Structure 1
């Protein structure tokens, strides 16, 4: 009994420490952090690209407490650093395992602007192993690329891999009762096929070739003093991996050395400078009277409702919640001091109704307040991600952005056969018409139910293509020919009229200035429409476990960390709440 009481007391004390002492400690830590100030002396900025930055700053839970740096933060800070006399240069630590082609493109553009303003940019890599050309492309414009001796450089091509689950489903007695509009809407193929269909393979092959091609062009231009043209570069890269000595001889890197050697070299170029992480850099404050542009962020799956995460669901803030984002758009529209809106979209889509709600908010602000809305597409803005973008006054996409996927799919997973294999017999009583259990039953769809579901999907697809055609100034028939659920690179999307300009976030901001009648040489205040939580709110949301949170925790415990599996599970979860989905296929670069 004594042991039992001691164990109970110990457990109770642990709960007190977790729910009371830990929040107090975190609050003290946060409140003790001095706010960053603009540098008074010379600085060299350091960026570690091996870290997986979220596209936009988290606003809920633990991550929001510590002011986690986002990729958008990096882009806006580098843009300001280019004209900051205190900043003498930038040191980059390259990723070894992939970086994302679209992100590589935006970092490369930032490097070129820094160099145009007489800032040096030095990069160090401890080897390029897997992940396609993006990690190397991100730093290829650097003044010098250093590679650690003894490491390899491997950039042999581009690979897009898909995990097909139909074989597993067949073994488990699960049928994916899912229909798609149209032949290139390949997301459901994960559940319905054992390999690529002809249309799926065509879309993925051309996507990979397009991404590989723009990568080769950029790298060839950046290494022009070493390589004759991109055809020669392609041959060189496709025959990798190379040792560090071979990479040096081929002109793929400039020097061999340790990370510390590069830092010492950088400090020698600016002897009185201080090396600081990009997170600690705060540009000089722009005058309050400067014109204002609202910056709204949308990252992750598109879902109805409001955003918010908790300790059991740390990625919950990485969704585009339609109520929250729409409210931010309306607030920016009503604010007379805000002259334009830049909406950064990084999403493979999700709920059609949630996407429609955000599209409508943009339309309302444009028509009611005559305020321009400009889209900056991140790594992916496809399916629902394209839906929420299509009504904007101008759409910017990187050449390597994955976009399009104008289509819809829907249905359910029929589990009855599998359940009967293990002795569970689903049986139901329906009252009403033949569609009472169309999405809830574990049985396969009847032909009548399937026809009804297809009619619903056809209406959604018709609305999507009609609104997209209106937004892009083309006929619905012409839009349909480049829709059909097909994904495109930013280059192909521009050729097909789906986007207006090729460029990143900084280009989109300049475009918004132009539409708002703001002089090109004028600095603007970027106003985030996402309110930051105070520490007490963050602790509250972090500890706010619910039944849904426990359900999510149980599911997360069964996955092995592969982002494709995580994305697949998220798609299945989404279909549980809304059977029709506007979601692009899960694409992982290699």
Structure 2
């Protein structure tokens, strides 16, 4: 009976996937094929940055359905293709009203400058700039265009950079919540908001350090683009805020106009019958280069670093984690690939698990031992665990405003017993074995012995981190002690300290990998990022069994769609091989 119910459930799930998923996948495939071939003969790309912008495209094929948001990597690769595409005649950038992440803005700025170098015009249009986030980074990106337009009457409030932090100590004291955390060391301030009611001197110093570095970097890039002195530009900006007309008179923008006027201006330059094409409809295109020729593998990872594999979760949401098993496996696949001669590891991560970070670092060591250099390209973040994984790479490339370093650790718990007791909730515990087994009970504080044992563990973890940095960066341990202590640096600062080899973006990292592997010409960039296929995502969503796969294949055959049938056959064969079966099947005609 149990097996019958399982089979029925599998059949139902299979039919549901077939009736909903297969048509959707086929539509997506058809739309993708159409979009790649439907670019008009004279096209102006419109890149809209007003929605949220991730560093990388989601690994889940269904993530972002219903949304039109881009990723930094898709924009960089798309512009690289567009600069040599004779159909693309210009670029219009729709700027957000608030700030961009500084590292993302740097990467996009470099891509825009490369596009402009091909002789194609670029207009950046803003409907107003407001003091939200790092708005100086948004302005810097706008100045990279040939012309920066501002909507008439709009606000121009680029006067500096601000950051806010919440401090909860007084609230915790009031409600009886007792945060108990260990930090290594004084600049590792991620939990300061729980422990204090204001910035500590070290926290204030570290925060202002990276903020000033980002601000100066943004100003220098904008001043260079505007062909003015950086100090003079700073004085003009800080004398604001301005309305659009004042910004124009102060030569902070080039022209006032509505977005439609900017579109028309670019289409006139593009020639008769020019059309606007949304950037998402243009896309990054296919990997260039001959299959089998020497290639450089590109492995991407974004988010917090955790152990295990991506279990799928919500198939319509992008993953916010870096799964150590998936990333390590991608490295081992690149090691086995004979055409891969070097690896570029693109990472944007504020940190995570030390053991997960060590697993990824071990895979990087294996790649280097196999004679394949590994170059790390950092996005907006390469901090804590995000820096741990990079320590022993052949080279590290970061943007001038990438937040990196944070060489330190923290950990602890909240003791909630007193707070819950005020509401009649009692926490009790039972332990077997060493008393430390209950050290992380939420009902009470650490005992002195537990706190001492936990502190020793933190010391050892921190020492391991320092060792990784000293060995990987070839720095004396005492020097690492000085520049670590949990301090966050920008890429420009990290370069001066020896924590980063080069300031730049993805394609600077590719060039570095090419040099280290002694490759000539333009090798193929082969993406080996661990991605779930459309059917794997559906399988995770519905928990498809082997029985439902067979039902899917039968249904596809009955409905007579050869593409769906072929896909189902492949999926069924793959599952049978995974189960130990020997599958004899002819190769697909090419």
**TM-score bracket, shorter-length normalisation:** 0.7 to 0.9
Partners of 1:279 and 1:381 lie apart in 2 by: 27
Whether the 8 Å contact between 1:300 and 1:319 is mirrored in structure 2 is yes
Residue by residue, what CA displacement relative to the aligned partner does 1:309-363 show, whole Å, maximum 9, x if unpaired? 3238935x12110011010011111111111111111000010100111011101
Whether the 8 Å contact between 1:162 and 1:190 is mirrored in structure 2 is yes
- Residue 170 in structure 1 maps to residue 173 in structure 2: yes
Residue by residue, what CA displacement relative to the aligned partner does 1:506-527 show, whole Å, maximum 9, x if unpaired? 11111111111122xx223222
1:238–1:16 Cα change, 3 Å = farther
In the alignment, what sits opposite 2:566?
none
Partners of 1:223 and 1:253 lie apart in 2 by: 9
In the alignment, what sits opposite 2:564?
none
Q: What SS does structure 2 have at the residue aligned with 1:164?
A: coil
Partners of 1:447 and 1:342 lie apart in 2 by: 46
Partners of 1:331 and 1:347 lie apart in 2 by: 22
1:544–1:223 Cα change, 3 Å = farther
Residue by residue, what CA displacement relative to the aligned partner does 1:128-160 show, whole Å, maximum 9, x if unpaired? 013321111112121111111011111111112
Q: 1:319 aligns with which of 318, 321, 326?
A: 321
- Residue 266 in structure 1 maps to residue 266 in structure 2: yes
Partners of 1:490 and 1:530 lie apart in 2 by: 24
The residue correspondences of 1:227-376 to structure 2 (distance < 5 A) are 227=228, 229-272=229-272, 273-281=274-282, 283=285, 286-289=288-291, 290-311=293-314, 314-315=317-318, 317-367=319-369, 369-376=370-377
Deviation at 1:85, TM superposition (A): 3.2
1:313–1:456 Cα change, 3 Å = farther
In the alignment, what sits opposite 2:7?
none
Whether the 8 Å contact between 2:306 and 2:356 is mirrored in structure 1 is yes
1:312–1:538 Cα change, 3 Å = closer
Deviation at 1:55, TM superposition (A): 1.3
Partners of 1:155 and 1:62 lie apart in 2 by: 37
Whether the 8 Å contact between 2:180 and 2:415 is mirrored in structure 1 is yes
Unaligned 5+ segments in structure 2 are 1-12, 545-590
In the alignment, what sits opposite 2:460?
459
In the alignment, what sits opposite 2:582?
none
Partners of 1:185 and 1:361 lie apart in 2 by: 27
Q: 2:157 aligns with which of 154, 158, 170?
A: 154
- Residue 134 in structure 1 maps to residue 132 in structure 2: no
Superposition TM-score, scaled by structure 1 size = 0.84
- Residue 47 in structure 1 maps to residue 47 in structure 2: yes
Partners of 2:431 and 2:185 lie apart in 1 by: 32
Partners of 1:20 and 1:117 lie apart in 2 by: 46
Deviation at 1:104, TM superposition (A): 1.3
The residue correspondences of 1:118-129 to structure 2 (distance < 5 A) are 118-129=119-130
In the alignment, what sits opposite 2:528?
529
1:126–1:257 Cα change, 3 Å = same
Residue by residue, what CA displacement relative to the aligned partner does 1:490-542 show, whole Å, maximum 9, x if unpaired? 111001100000001111111111111122xx223222213543333323334
Q: 1:33 aligns with which of 25, 31, 34?
A: 31
Partners of 2:533 and 2:125 lie apart in 1 by: 37
Partners of 2:433 and 2:252 lie apart in 1 by: 69
Partners of 2:239 and 2:82 lie apart in 1 by: 38
Unaligned 5+ segments in structure 1 are 1-14, 546-590
1:243–1:286 Cα change, 3 Å = same
The size of the alignment, in residue pairs, is: 524
Larger radius of gyration: 2
Deviation at 1:41, TM superposition (A): 2.6
In the alignment, what sits opposite 2:381?
380
Q: What SS does structure 2 have at the residue aligned with 1:50?
A: coil
Deviation at 1:119, TM superposition (A): 1.4
The residue correspondences of 1:529-568 to structure 2 (distance < 5 A) are 529-542=528-541
Deviation at 1:477, TM superposition (A): 1.1
Partners of 2:463 and 2:367 lie apart in 1 by: 24
Whether the 8 Å contact between 1:61 and 1:541 is mirrored in structure 2 is no
